[in-house]
């Protein structure tokens, strides 16, 4: 046995020791290490000045607390949209447990009739605002941003604009889920996808809308950039010219794009957007945001290690976050 250490936990040997120390830290009992104390081998990780274990000796990986602390998850949903679980305070609890730097809640905006109803109802906006306030009170040390995932739909920009005036948002995510009135990302539409004769034309129609979305300048970041790939219906051959054309409009508008990990949970099993897309965005110096698109508290921050690895592989070194729609840039977690 190794005896007591300054963290007050009984020292154990091997991997279990590393885990015990790490979980103690994650529970928020962050203490300063006594400078004079040299950790016995099982504790030999890399610690930061606040006594947070940064690199676990157990597996040589950056710990969650150090990794997530540098990141903002700006995209998450609540039960108010009718197809997600949990309330802002449940999402916040999960964010707090992970050690996430910033949590952004971004409910689906209301839509006029003729579109899906699985969204925040306009009359429930006060409830949404109150729930976000309640989460802020419950977790005062976690920065919680009031966001909204606002639709872009041809002919509906005015209704979105009017809705956006009703609250003081931290950030607005612009998303395209409809081609005309076709809710192409609904799993019920898979048979319709199978029946399509020209996939490339469908993709082009999607990116044309996406370009228009950027040009409205209503949004701070554009969500799940290549959502059109969700069910794995991908045209043959290169789409790079299509991506370039769409991204040029985004660059001109000074908008960000989102790296959204929900794609990993969908049939395509790939982050939105693809590396090919993201490399072009990087070349055009378009900033990125991160979003889990959590529809349940357990999905907050999901697959962010993969998301950061993708961003780095495409040349990114920082990501954006917003407060009252003012953008700031933050360095990505250090390389592992
Ligand atoms: Zn949703
Ligand atoms: Fe969406
Ligand atoms: Fe979403
Ligand atoms: Zn979404």
In DSSP notation, 198-223 reads -HHHHHHHHHHHHHHHHHHT--SEES
Question: What are 219-264's pLDDT values in tens digits?
Answer: 999 999 999 999 999 999 999 999 999 999 999 999 999 999 999 9
Q: Say how far residue 293 (Cα) sits from the centre of its chain.
A: 6
Report the candidate in 221, 217, 215 with the shortest Cα–Cα distance to residue 171: 221
Neighbours of ion ligand 2 (CB under 5 A): 175
Shared domain for 200 and 291, answered yes or no, is yes
Same domain, 99 and 53: no
Residue 335 tokens, joined? 């390389």
Same domain, 131 and 34: no
Domain check: are 57 and 70 in the same one? no
**67 pLDDT band (50/70/90 cuts)?**
very high
Distance from the alpha carbon of residue 279 to the mean position of ligand 4, in angstroms: 22
- Tell me the average pLDDT across 6-16: 42
Residue 3 lies in a domain: no
Residues 165 and 311 in one domain: yes
DSSP result, 239-279: -HHHHHHHHHHHHHHT-EEEEEGGGGGSTT-S-BS-HHHHH
Domain with residue 299: its CATH number is 3.20.20.140
Going from the Cα of 68 to the center of ligand 2, the distance in angstroms, rounded, reads 23
pLDDT given at position 46: 66
Average pLDDT, the chain: 87
- Of 37, 61, 85, the position where a domain reaches its end is 61
Element (DSSP H or E) covering residue 173? strand 171-175
Q: What angle do CA 67, 150, 70 make, to 5 degrees?
A: 10
State the pLDDT confidence band at 45, using cuts at 50, 70 and 90: low
- Distance from the CA of 24 to the center of ligand 1, in angstroms? 34
* 8 Å CB contact between 108 and 327: no
Ligand nearest to the CA of 177: 2
Whose tokens are 């961003």? That residue is: 311
Cα distances (angstroms) measured from residue 56 to each of 98, 100, 251:
15, 18, 39
Q: pLDDT tens-digit profile of 256-311?
A: 999 999 999 999 999 999 999 999 999 999 999 999 999 999 999 999 999 999 99
CA distance 22 to 98: 12
Tell me, yes or no, whether 52 and 124 share the same domain: no
Judge residue 129's burial from the number of C-beta atoms within 10 Å of its C-beta, 0-12 exposed, 13-18 middle, 19 or more buried.
Answer: middle
d(CA 208, CA 298): 34
Mean local confidence (pLDDT), 161-177: 97
CB under 5 Å of ion ligand 3: residues: 149, 293
Q: Are residues 286 and 258 in the same domain?
A: yes
Q: Are residues 49 and 178 in the same domain?
A: no
In a domain, 336, yes or no: no
pLDDT of residue 64: 77
**Tokens 């979980």 belong to residue:** 23
> Are residues 183 and 263 part of one domain?
yes
The rounded percent of the chain whose pLDDT value lies above 90 is 76
120 in the same domain as 53: no
Give the distance (Å) from ligand 4 centre to CA of residue 294: 8
Residue 191, Cβ neighbours under 10 Å: how many? 7
Residue 281 lies in a domain: yes
Q: Which ligand has the shortest distance to the CA of 104? A: 3
Domain assignment present for 196 = yes
pLDDT at residue 31 tops 50:
no
Q: Which ligand is nearest to the CA of 147?
A: 3
Kindly state the DSSP code that residue 39 receives in the 8-state scheme: P
Please tell me the total count of domains within the chain.
Answer: 2
Q: Ligand 1 centre and the CA of 294: distance in Å?
A: 8
Cα of 185 vs centre of ligand 2, distance in Å, is 9
Q: What is the pLDDT of residue 143?
A: 98
Query: What residues make up the domain containing 51?
Result: 15-61
Closest CA to 59 of 46, 76, 49: 46
Element containing residue 331 per DSSP (H, E): strand 326-331
**Residue 245 in domain:** yes
Question: What confidence category does residue 13 fall into, taking pLDDT thresholds of 50, 70 and 90?
Answer: very low
User: Ligand 4 centre and the CA of 147: distance in Å?
Assistant: 12
The verdict on residue 169 lying in a domain is: yes
What is the CA(12)–ligand 1 centre distance, in A?
44
Instruction: Using the mean position of ligand 1's atoms as its centre, give its distance from the Cα of residue 214 in Å.
Output: 21
Domain membership flag for residue 8: no
Residue ending a domain, among 42, 61, 80, is: 61
Span from the CA of 108 to the centroid of ligand 1 (angstroms)? 7
Q: Is residue 7 situated within a structural domain? A: no
Q: Identify whether residues 49 and 192 lie together within a single domain.
A: no
Same domain, 153 and 109: yes
Please give the model's pTM, rounded to 2 decimal places.
0.84
Name residues with Cβ closer than 5 Å to ligand 4, which is an ion.
293
pLDDT of 81 higher than 80: yes
């Amino acid at each position: 046995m190794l005896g007591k250490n300054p963290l007050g936990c009984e020292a154990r040997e091997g991997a279990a020791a590393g885990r015990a120390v790490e979980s103690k830290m994650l529970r928020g009992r962050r203490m300063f290490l006594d400078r004079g104390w040299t950790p016995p081998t099982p504790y030999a990780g890399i610690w930061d000045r606040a006594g947070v274990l940064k690199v676990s000796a157990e597996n040589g990986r950056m710990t969650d607390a150090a990794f997530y602390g540098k990141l903002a998850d700006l995209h998450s949903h609540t039960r108010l949209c009718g197809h997600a679980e949990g309330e802002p305070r449940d999402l916040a609890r999960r964010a707090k447990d992970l050690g996430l730097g910033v949590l952004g809640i971004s409910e689906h905006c209301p839509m006029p009739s003729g579109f899906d109803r699985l969204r925040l109802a306009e009359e429930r906006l006060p409830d949404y605002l109150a729930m976000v306030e309640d989460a802020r009170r419950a977790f005062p040390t976690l920065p919680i941003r009031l966001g909204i995932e606002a639709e872009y739909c041809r002919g509906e920009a005015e209704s979105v604009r009017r809705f956006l005036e009703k609250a003081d948002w931290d950030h607005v995510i612009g998303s395209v889920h409809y081609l005309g009135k076709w809710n192409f990302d609904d799993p019920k539409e898979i048979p319709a996808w199978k029946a399509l004769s020209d996939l490339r034309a469908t993709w082009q129609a999607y990116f044309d809308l996406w370009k228009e979305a950027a040009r409205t300048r209503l949004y701070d970041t554009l969500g799940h950039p290549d959502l059109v790939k969700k069910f794995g219906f991908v045209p043959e051959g290169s789409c790079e010219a299509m991506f370039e054309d769409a991204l040029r409009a985004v660059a001109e508008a000074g908008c960000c794009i989102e790296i959204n990990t929900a794609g990993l949970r969908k049939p395509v099993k790939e982050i939105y957007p693809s590396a090919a897309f993201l490399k072009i965005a990087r070349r055009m110096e378009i900033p990125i945001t991160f979003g889990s698109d959590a529809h349940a508290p357990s999905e907050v921050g999901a697959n962010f290690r993969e998301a950061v690895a993708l961003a780095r592989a495409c040349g990114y070194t920082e990501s954006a976050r917003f407060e009252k729609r003012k953008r700031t840039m933050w360095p990505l977690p250090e390389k592992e």
